[in-house]
Amino acid sequence: MIYAIICSRRDKPTKSLPKLVNYLAKANILYHISYDAESMFKGYEEGLKALTPDPEDIVILCHDDIEILSDRDDFTETLTKSLSDQKVGFVGPAGTTYLATDAVWWDMGRRQQGLHSGFVFQGDDHKTMTPNYFGPCRNVVVLDGLFLAARKSTLDQVGLQKPKEFPTNWDFYDLYYTLTAYEQGFVNKAIPVLILHNSAGMMRDTWDQNRKAFQRMFRLPIWCK
């Protein structure tokens, strides 16, 4: 089975959340919305406990400001096939084959060097969305956190709890999860799922604090072997 955990806030509802849960329901994907969690880490932890998937079930971890645009059958088939190999850890729409010492996966210079992978639409709605092509789908080191999927057994092995080294609650959970999986011997993959993200990303002080902690925790640079 496929499950989904969505982190959201009751005081800041997104217009895309009803569309997202409607899509999941029609695709027969059971979902849990973690409202007002103290961190992304805690929201995903709480959601996993609430859903109680089996070890080989697929679990999606995603933002509340996305729409899934893929045909529903194609979407579930792509997830199922991409995670059928026990060596695969996380899959998602966008990531990079090379993470430099600055720990900024989406760096434009490295995109121009052809090091990034995947594809995401960005914009407020279908009229304003524009394609953001990172590179061909393939094995990657880390993935962006707007949408991640993995087997429940992988989540158990990686661990969803916030590392004590992170001083703030909302950033670098995605790179922490996916790079931890990579260092444990899993293969991460950018896969062709069509996602509209209603955000261009946010650069804030808390992001930089966790970035610096992440840099101390992992030996960078690192690239796909």
Each residue's pLDDT tens digit, 99-153: 999 999 999 999 999 999 999 999 988 999 999 999 999 999 999 999 999 999 9
Q: What is the pLDDT of residue 202?
A: 58
Q: What is the pLDDT of residue 13?
A: 83
Q: What is the pLDDT of residue 133?
A: 97
Mean pLDDT of 159-188: 96
Q: Which domain holds residue 164?
A: 2-223
Supply the CATH number for residue 9's domain. Answer: 3.90.550.10
- Distance from C-alpha of 81 to C-alpha of 92, rounded to nearest angstrom: 13
Residues 8/33, Cβ–Cβ less than 8 Å:
yes
Peptide bond into 136 cis (omega under 30): no
Domain count, the chain: 1
Q: What is the number of alpha carbons within 13 Å of residue 15 lying toward its C-beta?
A: 8
Q: What is the pLDDT of residue 139?
A: 98
pLDDT surpassing 80 at residue 205: no
Mean confidence (pLDDT) of the chain? 95
Closest-CA residue to 206 (of 176, 156, 177, 166): 166
Q: What is the pLDDT of residue 195?
A: 97
* Model confidence pLDDT, tens digit, residues 8-58: 998 888 999 999 999 999 999 999 999 999 999 999 999 999 999 999 999
